Amino acid sequence: MKLQRHGVALAIAAAGALLLSACGSDPTTTASGSSSAATNSPAVDCSGKQSLNAEGSSAQKNAIDVFTQAYQAKCQGANIAYNPTGSGAGIKQFTAGLVDFGGSDSALKESEAQAAAARCQGNPAWNLPLVFGPVALAYNLDGVEKLTLSGEVAAKIFNGTIKTWNDPAIAALNSGVNLPSTPINVVFRSDESGTTDNVQKYLEAASKGAWTQGAGKKFNGGVGSGAEKSAGVAKAVAGAPGSITYVELAFAQDNKLGIAQIDNGSGAVVLNDESVGKAIEAAKIKGTGNDLALDLNSVYGTTAAGEYPLILATYEIVCSKGYDADTAKAVKAFLTVAATDGQANLAEAGYAKLPAAFQQKLLTSIQAIDSGSQ
């Protein structure tokens, strides 16, 4: 797994070329060369409706593009229209019955789960974590190519306690680095975002009490300036020296931002394939049955050497039952392809492939979605 980004268009084109070449292969196998692919992938039923609508997390938009290429290669004429309006909007549109599934960077809260069950004809909605990726503490600071932050220092930056780049707390983590006295400009997501929720949960878990602002999809730090969606915050930081934000790796790389190492208590951890892979393997499932909602607190608060603590799991929010037959077939087909063939080129788009054991759990849940009624 290489968490490198060479441009979404190239990644998608590569995905299409690879998968189209495999279109005539046995549908029970995944694209060759994927070390994390399930050994017995289920067949894909392409007889459902041709067009799916989904909305939500902007963090997973580029992964959905890759999945769509794989889906179209497997199911001729099929398509999915995904609107990256943010996790909050995605959940609202799903619970309102306006889209077939929602994308969210956080599992449903109790109140959201009740609304989702009502939309699913009284049946529970499931949280299916399909896309994993690291969140970067991304910065724009002239002359500083290597920067280390800790959970405690990051919390104090994002709540305004630390105001300048040469603050002694930052300097203590960056011996030999010439830190300027430039004021720190925090850039945060102005829209409701599961990325914000996850980052604030990380700050709660890793800051040794420095973050008291709580979590949630709205930024609670009380400082800085807002920008919409992942692309917006990354672009804002790129245009403003002295700025810092939290954003998914792909967007940080696209905008050529600096990416801080995180000292989790056992030394500075570089954001790379190995450190992210360790974090994914450590993630715990808190959902029951086929609901795969994750408890990432143990990852956020980790002190394990070499484990990057700030990862994001993006969910597809689906009805366990309550779809009509054509929609159910299409949802299952898309998710099955995404979890198998669609994993082949995720690393090139800045995401992490599903570990094999977790992939099998996910496929079990996808196949358990009720096939619907005619």
CA distance 150 to 269: 10
- Are the CB atoms for 154 and 139 separated by under 8 Å? no
Q: Give the side-chain half-sphere CA count within 13 A for 25.
A: 14
Q: Could you read off the pLDDT of 126-171 as tens digits, one per residue?
A: 999 999 989 999 999 999 999 999 999 999 999 999 999 999 999 9
The whole-angstrom separation of Cα 219 and Cα 200 is 8
Residue 2, pLDDT above cutoff 80: no
Residue 128 bridge partners (DSSP): 316
Average pLDDT over residues 183-210: 94
For 221-257, how does the pLDDT look when each residue is reduced to its tens digit (9 = 90+)? 999 999 999 899 999 999 999 999 999 898 999 999 9
User: Tokens 């800051």 belong to which residue?
Assistant: 207
Return the structure tokens found at 338: 């995404």
The whole-number pLDDT of residue 163 equals: 98
Model confidence pLDDT, tens digit, residues 252-301: 999 999 999 999 999 999 998 788 878 888 889 999 999 999 999 889 99
Parallel, antiparallel, or unpaired for β 284-285 and 294-295? antiparallel
Tell me the per-residue pLDDT of 33-42, one tens digit each, with 9 for 90 and over: 333 444 456 7
Write the CA distances from 216 to 141, 260, 306, integer angstroms.
28, 23, 28
Angle at which helix 61-74 crosses helix 325-339, to 10 degrees, equals 110
- Cβ neighbors of 122 (< 8 A, separation 6 or more) are 322
Query: Which pLDDT tens digit goes with each residue over 308-361?
Result: 999 989 999 999 999 999 999 999 999 999 999 999 988 888 888 888 888 999
pLDDT computed for residue 373 by the predictor? 66
Ordered by where they begin, the domains of the chain are 8-132+314-367 (3.40.190.10), 134-277 (3.40.190.10)
**pLDDT tens-digit readout, 55-66:** 999 889 999 999
Distance CA 183, CA 200 (A): 22
How big is the CA angle at 57 (ends 51 and 58), to the nearest 5 degrees?
Answer: 95
**SS3 assignment for the chain:** CCCCECCHHHHHHHHHHHHHHCCCCCCCCCCCCCCCCCCCCCCCCCCCCCEEEEEECCCCHHHHHHHHHHHHHHCCCCEEEEECCCHHHHHHHHHCCCCCEEEECCCCCHHHHHHHHHHCCCCCEEEEEEEEEEEEEEEECCCCCCCEEEHHHHHHHHCCCCCECCCHHHHHHCCCCCCCCCECEEEEECCCCHHHHHHHHHHHHHCCCCCCCCCCCCCCCCCCEEECHHHHHHHHHHCCCCEEEEEEHHHHHHCCCEECEEECCCCEECCCHHHHHHHHHHCEECCCCCCCCEECHHHHCCCCCCCCCCEEEEEEEEECCCCEHHHHHHHHHHHHHHHCHHHCCCCCECCECCCHHHHHHHHHHHHCCCCCEC
8 A C-beta contact, residue 184 and residue 242: yes
**Structure-token pair, residue 335:** 């998710």
- Model confidence at 7, pLDDT cuts 50, 70, 90, reads very low
How much is the pLDDT for 1?
39
The overall average pLDDT reported for the chain is: 88
